[in-house]
Amino acid sequence: MLKLLKNKIFILFFMGNIISLVGFGFNMIAVSWMVLEETGSEFTLGKIMATATIPGLFLAIFAGVIIDKVNRKWLMVNLDIFRMLIVSGFLVMLNYYEFQLWFIYPVAILMGLGNSLFWPTAQAFVQELVSEKDYFNANKLLSASYQVGSIIGAGLGGFVVHFYNPITALWINVFCYIVSGILITLAPFKQTRPKPEKENLITSLSKGFSFLKNKFDILTLGLTTILSDVAIWGSLSVLTITISKEIFNRGTWGYGMMEGLYGVGALLSTIIVGFAVKNMGRSYFLLMCYSVAGCMCFIVPHMLTIYHATIAFFFMGLYNNSARIIVRTIFMENIPNQIMGRVQTIFGVYTRLMVVLSALLAGWIIENRSIIHAVNFTALHYLFALVGIIVVMYTWEKSYNILSDKLT
């Protein structure tokens, strides 16, 4: 890991990614609070979250081809500029017009486009930067950047919205995208990938499908374990602030505490995951991760205080992110870099579709049933991920190759 931290390109990208994610955290809590304060409707918040994801469904069809064909560094810089301009435009508009709910929808669509291209580009960029033997450590550091960004963005964002206002949080968001773009620009990266062959979109995407058709264990692992991330980006994006507000009566700062402690647990996972895999093996530790994360999700609304709930979120972060690190490393080991973008496109379309459904269903369940029913629905995401690991372990003989304990 020390070797990666001495790599100037990697460390500048690493810092830029953290700052970008801090901005995203401020954005999420500011927009969520503005919607709930304006409407008081969790289903409306779910629709906003779905709106931010739907554009990615269409962009994702082209995203893999774009990521595999362009310079990934400059793509990320341009996406930082694009997102900065969108949020700035929204804030300037609020200077002249009183806030109305419909203002959020075009912003959510455009931000969704930027985010849905930035994150898979970052993943493919890391794979391009490091050798195969460094994939695990690179994934731990990449994951650490997400969690540090989550801790600072959600934690501080909650307090900024609570003690100041959502507008201040969004100006911090703008500043973060500017700093992120500068840091990534300064990374002295020169593309070394072979120039891709010229081919049409259909031919290019078909290579991703052909690869997965012959890697059914990878396909199964992706379709099921991705649902643990869907829980975070989908239903919990609606539930967390609702739990803080309705069950514990703590509003944005309670939301910030829960999201922040989730991030602390996820950050700690980057330290303990290697030791856990050495002692338990990949497959059994993955089973443990999804079991514990699902149980923690299930018990959150039954906790006595917000402080007890944050402890449950801490363990959700610890185990959910440990699983994510292992699964992403398995993908890097088994998916060639030259088609990584196209395979990620397929998984990306699936992920965004599930996030849309998850957020909408969670919002609908809260309004028409109860918060408890919505939490139970969210816990099912982890159950499906658990089933996926069991299926891969015991159904396909070759699956033991992808779940073998290479993480040292």
Average pLDDT, the chain: 82
- Compute the Cα dihedral for 362, 365, 370, 376 and give only its sign: negative
* DSSP class per residue in 111-168: HHHHHHHHHHHHHHHHHHHS-GGGHHHHHHHHHHHHHHHHHHHHHHHHHHHHHS-HHH
Mean pLDDT is highest, among 55-59, 101-105, 248-252, 287-291, for 287-291
* Ranges 160-164, 230-234, 393-397: which has the least confidence: 393-397
Q: Are the C-beta atoms of residues 352 and 296 closer than 8 Å to each other? A: no
DSSP letter at 40 equals -
pLDDT of residue 171: 94
The 10s digit of each residue's pLDDT in 214-224 is 787 888 888 88
pLDDT band at 407 (very low <50, low <70, confident <90, very high): very low
Mean pLDDT within 205-211: 77
pLDDT of residue 55: 72
Q: Please count the other Cβ atoms lying within 10 Å of the Cβ belonging to residue 301.
A: 20
* DSSP class per residue in 357-389: HHHHHHHHHHHHT-HHHHHHHHHHHHHHHHHHH
Q: Does the structure show a pLDDT above 50 at 294? A: yes
Q: Please count the other Cβ atoms lying within 10 Å of the Cβ belonging to residue 397.
A: 8
Q: Please count the other Cβ atoms lying within 10 Å of the Cβ belonging to residue 167.
A: 17
The 10s digit of each residue's pLDDT in 370-389 is 999 999 999 999 999 999 88
pLDDT band at 235 (very low <50, low <70, confident <90, very high): confident
pLDDT of residue 403: 67
Q: By percentage, how much of the chain surpasses pLDDT 90? A: 22
pLDDT band at 401 (very low <50, low <70, confident <90, very high): low
Q: First and final CA of the chain: distance in angstroms? A: 11
pLDDT of residue 202: 67
Q: Are the C-beta atoms of residues 174 and 44 closer than 8 Å to each other? A: no
Hey, what CATH topology would domain 10-187+204-402 get?
Answer: Growth Hormone; Chain: A; (1.20.1250)
* Ranges 48-52, 330-334, 389-393: which has the least confidence: 48-52
Mean pLDDT within 175-194: 82
Q: Does the structure show a pLDDT above 50 at 408? A: no
Mean pLDDT within 166-179: 93
Q: Where are the domains of the chain?
A: 10-187+204-402
**Which one is predicted more confidently, 312 or 397?**
312
Q: C-alpha distances in angstroms, 230 versus 61, 182, 348, 354, 380? A: 19, 31, 11, 6, 11
The 10s digit of each residue's pLDDT in 45-82 is 777 877 777 776 777 667 666 777 778 888 899 999 99
pLDDT of residue 4: 66
Q: By percentage, how much of the chain surpasses pLDDT 70? A: 89
Mean pLDDT within 182-209: 70
**Which one is predicted more confidently, 110 or 144?**
110
Q: C-alpha distances in angstroms, 312 versus 28, 191, 294, 319? A: 21, 43, 10, 11
**Which one is predicted more confidently, 298 or 351?**
298
